[in-house]
Structure 1
Amino acid sequence: MTRETLAGKQVVVAVTGSIAAVEVVKLIHELRRHGAVVQTVMSEAATGIITPDALTYASGRPAITCITGLVEHVSFCGDEGTADLLLIVPCTANTISKIACAIDDTPVTTFATTALGRGMPVLVIPAMHHSMFRHPGLIDNIRRIEAWGVEVIGPRIEEGKAKIAGTDEIVLRCERALLGRPLAGKRALITSGPCREPVDDVRILTTRSTGQMGRALALEAFRLGADVTVVHNDTFPCVRNIPAETAQDMHDQVLHQLNEHGGTDIYISAAAISDFAPEHREGKIPSGKPVTIDLHPLPKLLDAVRSAYNPFTVAFKIGRKPETKARAMIRQGVAMVLMNTPETMGSSHGAYTILDAKGTKHIEGTKDEIAAAVWSGILRRIA
């Protein structure tokens, strides 16, 4: 079940005349699943690509296709307007340039001028041919509206086109714009997922971790306004992804990131970092016979991070009875430890006990819900 992170928020989705308008119905549904009330407004060019009825159906509210005596732009985006965010998606080069010059000749540009005058959040999602996106005048106009506080979400460059960002990224950007950014100015460094230690040239030693907890923690930090770096072997939207395959890779990359940025405010060790590295054998170990594999213990990355930089540290401890070791970590200066059992690995849900200096708290739910609870606890500690 999707968390209603946008409950109580009204988002105006303004659609212009790009073929990418056909993607907007899916986006509207996703915003509503996150709890937002969505009002759509369309330029005349947009109505030639997708019908107003489609957006009316998706949003549950009549699409606005012209400004009438009801002064819709003022009702939603004026000083006393009901909207919390203006999201222009997709946004053509023509519309971007009109906004930059305060030209109001479509319902979308009139909404934009009104929203900018009010000072409310405005997100722009460009979509056009790549050559258009490289036009120096357009680049200047994007810089101009960004200087006014407009957030422009860069396109995906594919097949010679500047395509609109993915739905997940757009929703995350909306959440970040609307949730108050309590972590603004904070850097979060998170390790996520399994490590893969080579046994031979074919086989690896790893864990059942899927990185779902790390992903949930990283995206929640982004929603709340943090500058987020994740060291892992995956790609999450909106955050800085640093690749790491083995425990040594993770060790090297984490310390490199800390050295490069002079530390971090918050370090969350959510990865299932290998405790042992097998002695690597060249080629492929022949099958059909018993094999003994020597495992060599690895240094603890958590200790290295705390020794060098001592950030606000959140650790994980997995096991049937992990509390003794978790309490020892708290005594040694770790701010928070999440204790769980092996059953939570690879699952979209979990049960955790959060331990800190004040005691314990048991939480259950989806990994997204767990992540929200963890960050809520962190915010109480660092506020």
Structure 2
Amino acid sequence: MLEGVTVALGVTGSIAAVKTVELAHELRRQGAEVRAVMTGSAQGIIHPWALEFATDNDVVTEITGRVEHVDLCGYDGWADVFLVAPATANTVGKIAGAVDDTPVTTCATTALGAETPVVIAPAMHEPMYDHPGVIEALDTVEEWGVSFVDPRLEEGKAKIASEEAIVCDVARAAGDQPLAGEHIVVTAGATSESIDPVRVLTNRSSGTMGRAVAKACYVRGADVTLVQHGADVPYADVRQVEHAAEMLEATQDACQHADTLVSAAAIGDYTVEPSDEKIRSGQDLTLELEPAPKLIDEVREARPELPIVGFKAETSGDDGAMIEQARQTLERADLAFVVANDASVMGETDTRALLVHASNAAEYEGSKAGLGAEIASSIAVVLGDHGE
């Protein structure tokens, strides 16, 4: 996600500074090169050697005649992004007032003047986060184009955001944003239909692919709505659903003002009338299955001009057959393109897929995160063509 990106990591005197070693490791795992900058207060919480080890680079602990702030964040500086994580209330206020009395605030002023992207991840006690002056400072720097990674409000504290949330916002700030201003709706994972209060009909989809698409669209600047049965994620507004009917309703609602739908969920094809009581085991049982409405057909009827990306899972293992089935779906629902793959990849980290358009098909093999990026890039092309 951050291949080739250089990140200057500003660390200030919040107790959340103890998390920056792992944050630096995660930034590097995602492909970034990292150099750390520390305030004096931060050095009282975590030793610079720890961040030197985590980043494999020298740590800036003071501004000297080498003008480290200009080297890192000035015009043609080393950093693609200046990330302040954690950012205390004190530091946010100083950045808003251009007060340069620490290496971190001096780098921030330099970055803002040089139009180097700045990302701030606040961490403080919740009453401090609610202080009118802090709110005003946050609003001020946000108006200047600074990106904020919202903290988690728990136990009376505005705790630093998760590593995933910070990495996503750094990637969003560092890269091109061809989907900026676009609203993308993504469905992900399996649905389930109740047989009785304890049993369900479902499938093996994990939702990994849909979430990868949602994250990739967010990184490219989109506002993302994710319809799924699963945990909340930091890169999308999540609509929680369980049954196929709930997914259809939530998706139709989200698509009213959407620019694209990516239908990546493995939605159950059949529903069943559930028993109000648990069905006793050991008896012969016949379930009467009723076909469920096709989500993409229902959305297409309501939004005739909406670009829709479909997914088609097959078990034949034959590329020709997958392409044929994908084209049938593409033509039936007038889709932008279809991602066809073998059902054996459900729940796996890696995948092999065919991106099937009306006139061609392109093969992808690799991680689902990588496929998500390919799909997001293809959506940007589709929307570019759609707007012409």
Residue of structure 2 equivalent to 1:86: 82
- 1:245 and 2:242 equivalent? yes
- 1:335 and 2:329 equivalent? no
**CA distance in 1 between partners of 2:343 and 2:148 (Å):** 42
**CA distance in 2 between partners of 1:277 and 1:364 (Å):** 34
- 1:373 and 2:374 equivalent? yes
Aligned 1:170-189 pairs, distance under 5 A: 170-189=166-185
Q: Any unmatched runs of 5+ in structure 1? A: none
Q: Secondary structure at the match of 2:348?
A: coil
**CA distance in 2 between partners of 1:143 and 1:127 (Å):** 16
Q: Secondary structure at the match of 2:276?
A: coil
Q: Give the counterpart of 2:147 among 129, 145, 151.
A: 151
AA at the equivalent of 1:344: V
Residue of structure 2 equivalent to 1:326: 326
Q: Give the counterpart of 1:26 among 18, 22, 27.
A: 22
Q: Secondary structure at the match of 1:268?
A: strand
AA at the equivalent of 1:32: R
**CA distance in 2 between partners of 1:9 and 1:272 (Å):** 34
AA at the equivalent of 1:307: E
**Partner deviation per Cα, 1:112-146 (whole Å, 9 max, x = no partner):** 11111111111111111111111111111111111
Residue of structure 2 equivalent to 1:359: 360
**CA distance in 1 between partners of 2:151 and 2:377 (Å):** 32
AA at the equivalent of 2:341: N
**CA distance in 2 between partners of 1:315 and 1:152 (Å):** 33
Q: Secondary structure at the match of 1:377?
A: helix
Q: Any unmatched runs of 5+ in structure 2? A: none
Tell me the TM-score normalised to structure 1 length. 0.96
AA at the equivalent of 1:318: A
Deviates more, 1:323-332 or 1:242-251: 323-332
Any conservation in 1 of the 2:264–2:311 contact (CA below 8 Å)? yes
Superposed displacement of residue 37, structure 1: 1.4
Residue of structure 2 equivalent to 1:14: 10
Q: Give the counterpart of 2:302 among 297, 308, 322.
A: 308
Residue of structure 1 equivalent to 2:233: 236
Q: Give the counterpart of 2:289 among 287, 295, 298.
A: 295
AA at the equivalent of 1:188: I
AA at the equivalent of 1:362: E
Superposed displacement of residue 318, structure 1: 1.5
Residue of structure 2 equivalent to 1:279: 273
Q: How many residues align?
A: 376
**CA distance in 2 between partners of 1:336 and 1:62 (Å):** 48
Q: Secondary structure at the match of 1:201?
A: coil
**CA distance in 2 between partners of 1:136 and 1:378 (Å):** 41
Residue of structure 2 equivalent to 1:48: 44
Residue of structure 2 equivalent to 1:138: 134
Percent identity (aligned): 44
**CA distance in 2 between partners of 1:181 and 1:96 (Å):** 26
Any conservation in 1 of the 2:17–2:85 contact (CA below 8 Å)? yes
Residue of structure 1 equivalent to 2:67: 71
Superposed displacement of residue 45, structure 1: 0.5
